[in-house]
């Protein structure tokens, strides 16, 4: 289990550092999607929303690679991964497998850190 957690943390960190940097440096060429997916990505790009997403990906990826504030990095990545998976499930199914793989790595890490996240699932608050 310890090895799978280490591999998941490093690979997930690398994925998000690489794609976060790619959002700013454009070293991995990717064609613009067509149809509704292209309209969606175009709107995100024009509004500069993607710049924030890429910055958050980069920050979370660096935190994972440094093994610092891992629960915070996982919390940052949760909504990003949900959006990535839903985008590929609903609009661009060609990239669905990498999204599921990233979600699997994230799930391994959340399971490892479940003690940190378990208070979020408490039925009653402390107040």
Q: Which residues contact 41 (CB under 8 A, 6 or more apart)?
A: 32, 33, 50
Torsion of CA 53, 4, 95, 76, to 10 degrees: -20
Predicted TM-score (pTM) of this structure: 0.92
Decide: residue 8, CB within 10 A, 0-12 exposed, 13-18 middle, 19+ buried. Answer: buried
Answer for the pair 97, 84: CB distance below 8 angstroms, yes or no.
Answer: no
Instruction: Print pLDDT tens along the chain (127 aa).
Output: 799 999 999 999 999 999 999 999 999 998 889 999 999 999 999 999 999 999 999 999 999 999 999 999 999 999 999 999 999 999 999 889 999 999 999 999 999 999 999 988 888 877 7
Of 102, 100, 92, 96, give the one whose Cα is nearest residue 31: 92
Please give the pLDDT value at position 14: 98
Give the whole-angstrom CA distance, residue 126 versus residue 88. 38
Could you tell me the residue ranges of all domains in the chain?
2-26+38-113
């Amino acid at each position: 289990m310890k090895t799978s957690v280490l591999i998941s943390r490093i690979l997930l960190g690398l994925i998000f550092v690489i794609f976060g940097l790619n959002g700013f440096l454009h070293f991995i060429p990717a064609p613009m999607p067509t149809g509704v997916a292209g309209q969606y990505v175009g709107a995100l790009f024009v509004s500069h929303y993607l710049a924030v997403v890429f910055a958050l990906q980069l920050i979370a990826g660096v935190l994972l690679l440094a093994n610092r504030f891992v629960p915070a990095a996982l919390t940052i990545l949760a909504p990003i991964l949900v959006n990535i998976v839903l985008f590929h499930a609903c609009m661009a199914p060609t990239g669905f497998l990498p999204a599921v793989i990233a979600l699997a790595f994230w799930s391994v890490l959340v399971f490892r850190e479940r003690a940190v996240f378990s208070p979020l699932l408490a039925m009653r608050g402390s107040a």
